[in-house]
Amino acid sequence: MSDFNITVNGRQVPVIKGQTVLQASLAAGIDIPVFCWHPQLVPVGACRICLVEIEKLPKLQVACATIASEGMIVHTDSPKTIKVRQGVLEFILAHHPLDCPTCDKGGECDLQNLTFKYGLDYSRQHEPKHRVIVDANSTFDDLQIGPEIIRNQNRCIHCYRCTRIVDEIAFEDDLGAYQRSYHTEILPPPGREIRNLYSGNIVEYCPVGALTNDDWRYKVRVWLTKQTSVICPHCPDGCNMKLWNFHNKLFRATSRANENIDNGFICDIGRYGYQYVASPDRIKRPMVRRSGELVETSWEEALSLIRKQTDDIKSKLSGSGFFGFIGDIRTNEEIYAFQRLLRRVIGSNNIDHRFHRRRRLTPGEEVSSRGIESDNAEFKDIENADVIVVLGSDLHSENPITSLRVKRAVKRHNAKVILLNPLPTPLGKRAATLEVIYKQGTAAVLLHGLIDAVVDLERFDPSAIKLSAAEISDFRKANAAYAGVRGSEITGVDVTLVARVAEILAAAQNVFILAGSYVERDPLRDSLHLAVANLQSFCKSARKIFLPPDSNSVGAAFFGAEPTVLPGRQSWGKKAIYEDLWHGPIPDAPGKDTIGILEAIDEDEIECGLVFNADPVRLFPDGEYVRSVMEKLKLLVVIDSFMTDTARLADVILPLSTFAEIEGTRVNWEKRMQYSQRAIPPLHESKPGCEIIELLADRLGVKFNQSKPSDVYQEMARFFPTGAPTTYAAIGRDGFLIRSAETNKPGKLAYLRFVAPAIDTEYRFILLVGNADHHRGTLTERNEILMKFTGEPFVGISEADATDLAVSDGDLVKVESKYGRVVGKAMILRDFPSKRVLLPENFGEMSTNILMGRQDKIDMIKLAKM
Amino acid sequence: MILSDSAKLQISQTAKRYPKVRSAILPALHIAYEEHGYLSDQIYEEIAQILDLKLIEVAEAASFYTMFPKAKRGKYLIQVCRNISCALLGSHHLTAYLLDKLNVELGEITADGLFTVVEAECLGSCTTAPMMQVNAHYYENLTVEKVDRLIEEFRSQK
């Protein structure tokens, strides 16, 4: 591996060409102190603490920015270097306030630690220390520079880590260093605050206490806390975090730097997202409905009630009178145990997890669903791609850390980023080479037109792809209606723009396609999936990822939360294996999916539902219908942590522990299985999912003796590929990838049949549902800190439509569909296409699903000023 | 909009001379303050827009250079050198004399809007000390009489 050696402190240290003295030394376990250096940032040599002695060089050199060359003889602990380090520290401390007793960083401060190690017992600074006065009455000089971040300039040692993270990693522009020398001040641009989605990282990586956040300030001393390693439950990126607790109270979340995934940076949603755990709105005790009201009760009473009522329903309708919904944010263990409860104990295959942001499930989706049909690809592959295509995704808001990887590819080797979206997204301004806005519902046409444009290019080389000349020409013929100007008329995308994208794709060596939530919500979802595969076939080398909607959607799909697939994605024919394993029968026929379940309730074929951390009333299209159907149930058991819209209709509610109170595994979009520790014991009277499921199973007649997630995991492990870890201890820090052999092969070309939707003259606007700032999904609404960023629900409209309707920013507008209406404040969005409306899905007071039809392919609405 | 169309044009023309647009920030700041007299957040915003840069890049650069005026000042900015050669030859007396004559404090603008007096670090003209810089020009080997004459000249030019 190494190219040559250098000598450090008399030891031979291997060097890979291009490595700095610091990198080589650290890799060899030789410690060199740093302040400004960070493994993910470009070295600047600002702090001078890493000065080392290199023989034959007249002066000491900064190890962080000195490229190691053959034959170097380096001393990192010679008397001269020690003396210089002391000098640098004396210099840094000259104007440092030394207010350690009241500083939050105390105990984990790099400056404190290095002074402890190398410091002197005197200072030659006799003049008053320089002070940036913010508040003359307090020596703290705290300045709020963002909703959550407080700056104390006097403690700053000018390492510029914060501004470099904002600039180099996040590609944001809301923090800078002003003035010079000891007058330097870290501030947002004039008139603004720092509020980007990655802003919390600057607090984590500040080597001193100059940047702190409200979250953690003055609450606990760091040495009193315990840390646990968890997986962030907020999106399918699966970032690794540390939760810090003291006396079973959580105080903060920080990154647990995993190079495979997050590189040590987490988004604010993850960083502050844990706060919902301690929300006062948690459901604290079991509840039952008595004369119309939900009242608190004991576990015993709640469980007996469930037993009694299920007995009645079971004798009347057998197992098929039951259904189960489980949320995609639960652990694999809970999902697996839940479907086993349904199938084996209750005797129903009616189970689904696909009710979120989705309309009618399409036939055939059982075999290809929710990110599980993605190629084998990892975060690292994004970085290695030279062209990254983001299709139908607000990647910045929905997969913030995947978005960082895209930026990294741009930063490191100038990768080209192409956004194909139904609306402008934040990533556009920050990292896109080209941003294409198509009309929602026409993405498949756009991709086919794009393929045609690629083939049309002179530089297109058919021998570089695996298609025959006949296949290509047949495809082009079938595709003629979507190519060139004709395609452009459908998609609304200019032909020259399509040609520019085609140029980039044709020149690409290695393409990475990230398809997101607008693909899943596309009226032609299945055709679009095939169109992505077609595009892949026309690229020299390409990988595709269908980003799953929630943190463990892939796990839910893999571990049996779908009606027609058994755990491990086993087909129905393998049923006997499970009957053996679970010592009893499971029903013969596959179950119903979400829509089928709702219709069956409507027709009185289903009378009892178990809803596990899911809120179909709030999320599934046609919310009013879902509500009316749920109300018909004889028994609705909701297992949840919060009083959701669905829980309000429940007959029995069982309090469920949140991600921090349970252990278990999750699968991210890479299909990487990761283990998440339990940080604190269950709060209130809540119980972890596996325990609740075991209690229910026991009460309903079957004992599995698996109330601990680790027990469930051992059973699940038999569905992993051979060699995969079978215990939590064996999973390790990096997790493991669930891989199947037959992916990465695009297969045969699929032809598209596009029929333009009939135009309704009354409902002329297309509804687009997205995420508001610092929001993802609906859980973030329970979070005080994130709410500081998010603001109010809004109705996003284009400038043209605003003029048409004489609406200005903040005016109340009415959004109405055939199914329902909402009223909200207009927000005029720049560069937003006309005849579309963007609604955030995150706000309880403005549900978007009531505007959607269950059967509709596309959501059409009308818009009026109030 | 603070900057005139001609200033904007000049800035975008200047930008073409540099392989990296960022390099045009300093000349752009010069053009802006020569026209407007001082720099402000609004001007940074306008320059950022013309050069298609981030506001923060412009604001940072402007703040780094203390000699860019950041606040309104008199038509004539009098910078009296206070470093060693000038000081030995009585620059502080000159400063005091100027302030007294113009009836103004350091950094303030005279009532007629014409003058602002500030002290400057070495302006590199030690052989002709004491000296001062008024806007872009040096005035050297100063005496009280010479200062009187200069002030009269500036007043008459308005």
Alpha carbon distance, N-terminus to C-terminus of chain B: 26
Same domain for A719 and A773, yes or no, is no
Average pLDDT over residues A77-101: 94
Say if residue A722 is in the same domain as residue A591. Answer: yes
* CATH number reported for the structural domain that contains residue A17 in this entry: 3.10.20.740
In the prediction, which pLDDT does A369 show?
46
Does the structure show a pLDDT above 80 at A365? no
| B93, B153: one domain | yes
- For A409, the token pair is 């590819």
pTM of the predicted model over 0.80:
yes
Percent of chain A residues topping a pLDDT of 70:
97
CATH of the domain at A238: 3.30.70.20
DSSP string, A754-808: --PPPPPSS--EEEEEE--TT--TTGGGG-HHHHHHH---EEEEEHHHHHHTT--
For A679, A682, A800, A847, the CA distances from A688, given in Å and listed in that order, are 12, 7, 51, 29
Contact at CB, A180 and B59, closer than 8 angstroms: no
pLDDT recorded at residue A362: 46
Chosen domain end from A219, A253, A278: A278
- Rounded distance between C-alpha atoms, residue A154 and residue A134, angstroms: 10
With respect to residue A267, please indicate whether it lies within any of the assigned structural domains: yes
Is B45 in the same domain as B83?
A: no
Task: Write the ipTM.
Answer: 0.81
Q: What are the pLDDT digits (tens) for A586-634?
A: 999 999 988 899 999 999 999 999 999 999 999 888 999 999 999 999 9
Which residue does chain A place closest to B44, by CA atoms?
A190
Give the angle A248-A249-A250 at the CA atoms, nearest 5°: 120
Q: A851 to chain B nearest CA, in Å? A: 39
Task: Give A129 to chain B, closest Cα distance, Å.
Answer: 21
Give the CATH number for residue B82.
3.40.30.10
State the amino acid at position A124 in one-letter form: R
Q: Which residue has the tokens 């959580």?
A: A250
**Residue of A179, A195, A430 for testing the chain B interface, max B β-carbons within 10 Å:** A179
Q: Give start and end residues of each alpha helix (H) in A41-185.
A: 79-94, 110-118, 161-164
- Asked, for residue A110, whether it belongs to a domain, the answer is no
Last residue of a domain, one of A13, A48, A77: A77
| Residue A691: inside a domain | yes
Q: Would the CB atoms of B64 and A178 count as touching at under 8 Å?
A: yes
pLDDT tens by residue, A738-781: 886 555 555 678 888 888 877 788 999 999 999 888 888 778 88
Burial of B124 (0-12, 13-18, 19+ CB in 10 A): exposed
- Report chain A residues whose CB lies below 8 A from the CB of B59: 176, 178, 189-190
Considering the domain architecture, whether residues B84 and B145 belong to the same structural domain is answered as yes
- pLDDT, position A372: 55
What does DSSP say about strands A608-612 and A322-326: parallel, antiparallel, or unpaired?
parallel
Any domain includes B119:
yes
Give B64's contacts in chain A (Cβ within 8 Å): 178-180
Please give the angle made by the CA atoms of A519, A520 and A524, to the nearest 5 degrees: 70
Does a structural domain hold residue A799? yes
A500 and A442 within one domain: yes
Q: Do A176 and B44 touch (CB under 8 A)?
A: no
CA max distance for chain B? 50
CB A794 within 8 A of CB A825: yes
Span A533-543, pLDDT tens digits: 899 999 999 99
- What is the average pLDDT across A101-126? 93
Quick check: A190 and B59 CB within 8 A? yes
* A652 touches A305 (CB < 8 A): yes
Indicate whether A537 belongs to any domain. Answer: no
> Is the same domain home to B21 and B42?
yes
Is the domain of A658 the same as that of A790? no
pLDDT tens-digit series, residues A795-834: 999 999 999 999 999 999 999 999 999 999 999 999 999 9
- Residue B10 sits in a domain whose CATH number is 1.10.10
> In whole angstroms, what is the distance from residue B34 CA to residue A826 CA?
42
Choose the weakest-confidence range: A180-189, A361-370, A442-451, B90-99: A361-370
DSSP A361: P
Distance from CA of A181 to the nearest CA of B (A): 9
- Position A356 confidence tier, pLDDT thresholds 50, 70, 90: low
Smallest Cα–Cα separation from A167: which of A260, A64, A38?
A38
Q: Which residue of B has its CA nearest to A430?
A: B54
CATH at A564: 3.40.50.740
Q: Tell me the chain B residues in contact with residue A830 when contact means C-beta distances shorter than 8 Å.
A: none
Q: Are residues A57 and A17 in the same domain?
A: yes
Distance between B91 CA and the closest CA of chain A, angstroms: 26
**DSSP track, B64-127:** H-TTS--S---SEEEEEE-SHHHHHTTHHHHHHHHHHHHT--TT-B-TTS-EEEEEES--S-GG
Q: What is the CATH number of the domain that holds A825?
A: 2.40.40.20
Contacts A–B by Cβ distance under 8 A = 31
Considering its fold, how many domains does chain A have in total?
A: 5
Do B153 and B89 share a structural domain?
yes
Q: Tell me: do B90 and B150 sit in the same domain.
A: yes
Quick one: A488 and A386 in the same domain?
yes
Last residue of a domain, one of A77, A104, A136: A77
Q: Find, in chain A, the residue whose alpha carbon is nearest to that of B59.
A: A189
Q: CA nearest A174 in B: which residue?
A: B56
Distance CA A823, CA A295 (A): 33
Q: Please indicate, yes or no, whether residues A731 and A594 belong to a single structural domain of this protein.
A: yes
- Domain residues for the domain of A15 are 4-77
Q: Do B59 and A176 touch (CB under 8 A)?
A: yes
Q: What is the pLDDT of residues B144-158, one digit of tens each?
A: 999 999 999 999 986
Q: Identify the pLDDT of residue A600.
A: 96
Same domain, yes or no, for B51 and B95?
Answer: no
Q: Residue B44: list chain A partners with CB under 8 A.
A: 190
Taking CA–CA distances from B57, the nearest residue in chain A reads: A176
Coil, strand or helix at A603 = coil
Residues of chain B found within 8 Å of residue A180, distances taken between Cβ atoms: 64, 66
Give the contacts of A23 (CB within 8 A, at least 6 positions apart).
Answer: A68
Do A391 and A502 share a domain, yes or no? Answer: yes
Same domain, A264 and A318: no
Domain boundary among B64, B92, B108: B64
Residue B71 in domain: no
Residue type, position A587, single letter: P
**What number is the average pLDDT over the span A343-371?**
67
How many other C-beta atoms lie within 10 A of the C-beta of residue A707? Answer: 19
Does any domain span residue A757?
Answer: no
Number of domains chain B is built from: 2
**Domain contains B49:** yes
Of B55, B64, B66, the CB nearest to A173: B55
Residues in chain B within 8 Å Cβ distance of A174: 56
**Angle, alpha carbons A46-A51-A55 (nearest 5°):** 140
Flag whether A113 is in a domain. no
The distance of B65 to chain A (nearest Cα, Å) reads: 7
Among the partner residues A176, A179, A180, nearest to B56 by beta-carbon distance: A176
Q: B interface mutation test: which of A167, A173, A193, A429 has the most B CBs within 10 A?
A: A173
Which stretch of DSSP H or E encloses residue A817?
none
- Which of the residue ranges A238-242, A296-300, A343-347, A593-597 would you say has the lowest mean pLDDT? A593-597
Cβ–Cβ of B59/A178 closer than 8 Å? yes
For residue A166, what is the nearest residue in chain B, using CA coordinates?
Answer: B56
CA-CA distances (angstroms) from residue A107 to A101, A102, A111?
A: 10, 11, 10
**Claim to verify: residue A342 and residue A235 sit in the same structural domain:** no
Q: Chain B partners of A189 at a C-beta cutoff of 8 Å?
A: 54-56, 59
Interface of B with A (CB under 8 A): 41, 44-45, 54-57, 59-60, 63-64, 66
* Residue B58 placed within a domain: yes
pLDDT score recorded for residue A709: 97
Tell me if A190 and B60 make a contact (CB, 8 A cut-off).
no
Contact assignment for A179 to B64 by CB distance below 8 Å: yes
Domain final position from B64, B86, B113: B64
Tokens representing A475 are: 């495809």
Tokens of A144: 């709020």
Query: For B66-96, what is each residue's pLDDT tens digit?
Result: 888 888 889 899 999 999 999 999 999 999 9
CA distance, residue B115 to nearest chain A CA (Å): 26
Question: For residue A694, what pLDDT band results from cuts at 50, 70 and 90?
Answer: very high
**Which pLDDT does position A718 carry in this prediction?**
86
In a domain, B70, yes or no: no
Q: Which residues of B touch A173 (CB under 8 A)?
A: 54-57
Distances (CA, A) of A122 to A106, A114, A117: 21, 15, 14
In a domain, A173, yes or no: yes
Q: How far apart are the C-alpha atoms of A279 and A299, rounded to whole Å?
A: 21
Interface residue of B25, B40, B63, B65 to substitute, partner A, most A CBs within 10 Å: B63
The domain in which residue B39 lies consists of 5-64
Question: Using one digit for the tens of pLDDT, what is the confidence trace for A244-263?
Answer: 999 999 999 999 999 999 99
Residue from the list B45, B55, B60 with its beta carbon closest to the beta carbon of A177: B60
Shared domain for A663 and A602, answered yes or no, is yes
My answer on whether A316 and A216 are in the same domain is no
Report the first-to-last Cα separation within chain A, whole angstroms: 68
Task: Please name the residue of chain A whose CA is at the shortest distance from the CA of residue B66.
Answer: A179
**Looking at residue A417, which CATH number applies to its domain?**
3.40.228.10
Parallel, antiparallel, or unpaired: how do β-strands B76-81 and B115-120 relate? parallel
Q: Which residues of A touch chain B, with CB atoms under 8 Å apart?
A: 173-180, 188-191
The answer to whether residue B152 sits within a structural domain is yes
A191 neighbourhood in chain B, CB within 8 Å: 41
Max mean pLDDT among A161-165, A566-570, A720-724 falls in: A161-165
Spatial separation of the C-alpha atoms in residues A866 and A812, rounded to whole Å: 6
Asked if B66's CB is within 8 angstroms of A190's CB, the reply is no
One-letter-per-residue 3-state SS of A104-130: CCCCCCHHHHHHHHHCCCCCCCCCCCC
Chosen for mutation from B2, B40, B56, B57 (greatest number of chain A CBs closer than 10 Å) is B56
Taking residues A215-228, what's their average pLDDT?
94
Q: What are φ and ψ of residue B127, in 5° steps? A: -70, -15
Say whether the peptide bond before residue A681 is cis (omega within 30 degrees of 0): no
Average pLDDT over residues B12-39: 94
Under the banding of pLDDT at 50, 70 and 90, the label for residue A149 is: very high
Contact criterion met (CB < 8 Å) for B55 and A175: no
Question: What is the three-class DSSP state of A663?
Answer: coil
Statement to judge: residues B55 and B124 lie in one domain: no
